[in-house]
Structure 1
Amino acid sequence: MQTLKVEKLLINYKTLDEFKRFSEYGNQELSMLEDLQNNMIENNSDSPFYGIYYGNALVARMSLYKVSQKYDRYFEPPQDYVVLWKLEVLPDYRGKGFGKALVDYAKSYNLPIKTDPRINSHGFWEKMGFQKAKYDMERDLGENPLIWMPDGVQETEH
């Protein structure tokens, strides 16, 4: 198997066209199309989108957003962290390490990671070392987030 290379995706019409392939599989809640269109309108060159190409086709993608500790609602004590959002691998490419490669890329920031798992994906996140966040349920906002902590960083309970 080829080495999987995670790339920062450019905000352009080619990427917009590639994102359409993902939403055709019925994953409307995972579609980044609207995010991408909004960023193109704003001419935002700092893309939060990352993906993996197999040949010339984008087959896996995610969004990563860094959050400053001053906005932290999830960790105690508050700290900078990364939100991993909308991870999706096209059906024909699942089970081949593409999702793991994206998660490993996010872990390379060496910051805590928060994600809101989709239905039936908890097993994947548990294999990646994520666990339920320990915090007051009023912070939950109905998300049921999972978190990953880098070695040496501990979350404390309230």
Structure 2
Amino acid sequence: MSKLREERLALQLDHFLPYRLSVASNVVSNLIARTYRQRFNLKITEWRLIAILAESNRMTPQALTKATRMDKINVSRAAKSLIVRQLITSAPNGQDGRSHFLSLTDEGLALYSEIAPQALAMEEKLLRAFSATERSALEELLKRLESAAENEAGGSTFHRPP
């Protein structure tokens, strides 16, 4: 067997961590996205902005880009859609005239208050197969994996502001 063929066979996607993480993420995201889309007419990107703004009160688009790990075009599109739907609002940043702050409107906060319990219930259903110890270990392992990947990329772990 040629060396190239041996190397090609050495990589088996079902055992390749980036592939497995991507598949798991897609399956979970698609399950949850279906609920957001059907019930609330929201895309995953829009829900992420709503959830982070609910936790952080207000943020610049640049900060949202970092916090969501989405590119700025997706953040911008999601923000525009949510502004049109009057779920978030945009206000000038007095310290930086080129920037603005995004925050939830009362309607956006009400929507978050309706969706968040459902998101938590879905998470609980998905994690039923794990013991409390396994859940804790999974959370810790995912944090360490994210940190290792960011360190490898030359970045640092991002923590959302309080």
Q: TM-score when scaled to structure 2?
A: 0.22
TM-score by length of 1: 0.22
The structure where helix makes up a greater share of residues is: 2
Higher strand share: 1
Q: State which structure, 1 or 2, has the greater radius of gyration over its C-alpha atoms.
A: 2
